[in-house]
Structure formats: structure tokens, C-alpha cells
Amino acid sequence: MSPTWCCSVKATGESRTRSASCFAHRVSENYFPQQFLPLSDIHSGAAYLPAGWGTQAATEFKKILDHGGIVWNCGTGALAHPGLARVNALQARTSQGAGADAARVRALAAYKDFLTLWKDADPNPNIPVLKQAKAEYAKLQ
């Protein structure tokens, strides 16, 4: 298992902050070759999010969405939408007032973008990322 994968896997365990830090360090060491930068961004965002580093996670997911020409035919581009939605949902839960409301609206929009992209893709409703995004979207509504 590569060091980068280990850091991502650890991010789902007990030591989330250390794992996100580990992953960020691997990426900053230019672990990924230039052609795989969107892949490093999606993994960085996914590692930052469970650690509660919403700003850093949002930055990574936005990098992917801002460069759609690089990932237009890659799953990485589609997966950035629920990633960004989760960041905004986290912000909605941890904020108050108008900031929380705005974050919730952004999260709903990102989930809707993902579900719109998916509607013409694989018709199997049992794909884990799709089921999870639908459940998270419904919970926010």
C-alpha cells in the first residue's frame, strides 16, 4: 500500500488530524506526478474533511471544479461535487445565522450538481457514493 493511500485510510480512523497532516505532507512533497494532480486534490480534500479542516478541504475540491477541462471525463471531477457539499454541510452545522443558511444552500446546490451529473450516468442506484450523496442531500432538505 502506498504511503499516500495509508494516510487517506487513516483519515477515517481515530487520528484524523494527524492523518490529514500526513497526507498534506505527502502531497507537498510532490508525491504525485504532475498528470495526477486532480487525484491528489480529491484525496487531500477527502483527508482534510474528517479532520474538520473544512477550509483546506474546500480549497482542494474547488481546484478540481475550477479546472473542469482536466477532469471532464474522469470520476474525480464528479466526486468533487459531493466533497464540496460535505464541506458546506460541515460549515452549516458549525456556523450560526446567515452564514449557516448560506452554507446549507451551497451544500444543497453542490449535491444537486452531483446528482444532475449522475442522472445520465450509471443507472444502478446501489452505488455507494450515489446512495450516500442522496441520503446526505435528503437530510439537508
CA–chain centroid gap for 1, Å, is 22
In this prediction, residues 41-54 reach a mean pLDDT of 83
In this prediction, residues 42-55 reach a mean pLDDT of 84
> Where in the sequence is the domain holding 126, given as residue range(s)?
3-140
Least confident of 6-20, 72-86, 97-111, 124-138: 6-20
Question: Residues 4, 30: contact at Cβ < 8 Å?
Answer: no
Its sign, for the CA torsion 59, 131, 76, 19, is positive
Number of domains in the chain: 1
Bigger pLDDT: 38 vs 72: 72
Q: What predicted TM-score, i.e. pTM, was given to this entire model?
A: 0.70
For residue 72, the domain's CATH number is 1.25.40
Q: Is 131 helix (H, G, I), strand (E, B) or coil?
A: helix
Contacting residues for 51 by C-beta, under 8 A, at least 6 apart: 11, 16, 17, 19, 20, 21
